Amino acid sequence: MVESLLDRTPLNNGYTIPGIGLGTSGMMGIEAEDAVFYAITNGYRLIDTASFYDNEEDVGKGINRAINAGISRDEMFVTTKIWKTDMGFDNAIQSFDQSLNRLNQQYVDLLLIHWPDKDDAVNLDTWRALESIYESGRARSIGVCNFNHKNLATLLEEVKVRPAINQFEMYPGHSGQDTNDYCNSENIVSMAYSPIKKGNISKENRTMTLAKKHNKTPEQIALRWAVQRGTIPIPKSSHKERIKENGDIFDFFLDNEDMDFLNDLDMKQGKKQRLRDNIPGTLERKNRRKFNG
């Protein structure tokens, strides 16, 4: 488990990824540039963007400002994605070329398929493009977004290069445990977008209870929960105070009772998954009460 903003998690291809990052969806212009620059110069090393966000140029400016300020590009981890309308081999290659140009970078650290197509053949054709880009060295790792267990299983039957990452929505109460368990079984790292429930995690009483216990914010509780599950959260914010606050989650620990308390949110909201099994940091008890879904 990572213990600081600079700690890294190993990927299945020999590279490593920082344990928490900055999401940039919805940011534009100088707002995006400044947020990226501030995050990197205050310890963040993972920056997530996408062609669909229409901010790659701005994100790239923030990255290059940080490089000019003395942060090595080799320390950074930059992610972008292929959008739905750019699926297929040729389209994906062209889309990536444009993304790299907008970012003004020689390579990205991670390239993802943003959403699975309903046609498995299209997903595979797009994946072949990502494999080609990976083999060229212009993307050091490749992966997917929003792929469920079935999407991944189908893709894995045909790949030459295995996905290193699956990025999907994840926060307390919406854990994606089935997908996360499958990723773990296939040595694919799970990355959590919207890890603070689009800013609404403070409305959940359980996170507020633990926030008071640990003298932290509900957002910090949710991010710490994600880290202790072995997943990589990428909270989005352009506010300097919130960016700093989101990274300040390494001076406390959620114990087994705390983790169970948050894991049970899925049950509370009517999910049928059993969350207490196979989650790092969760205490196995002999006398657990039964859940019937």
C-alpha 225/C-alpha 195 separation (Å) is 10
DSSP structure class, residue 99: H
Outline where DSSP puts E strands in the chain: 8-10, 16-18, 21-23, 46-48, 77-82, 110-113, 142-145, 165-169, 189-193, 232-233
Catalytic residue of the set 38, 44, 53, 134: 53
> What 3-state class would DSSP assign to 85?
helix
C-alpha 244/C-alpha 289 separation (Å) is 39
> What 3-state class would DSSP assign to 35?
helix
DSSP 227-266: HHTT-EE--B---HHHHHHHH--SS----HHHHHHHHTHH
In angstroms, the Cα distances linking 37 to 41, 52, 166, 241, 262 are 6, 21, 26, 14, 33
Residues in the chain: 293
C-alpha 45/C-alpha 287 separation (Å) is 43
Give the other-Cβ count within 10 Å of 122's Cβ. 17
Which tokens in the block code for residue 18? 């920082």
**Kindly report the CA angle at 214 between 211 and 216, in degrees rounded to 5?**
50
Outline where DSSP puts E strands in 114-217: 142-145, 165-169, 189-193
Active site residue 193: no
Active site residues: 53
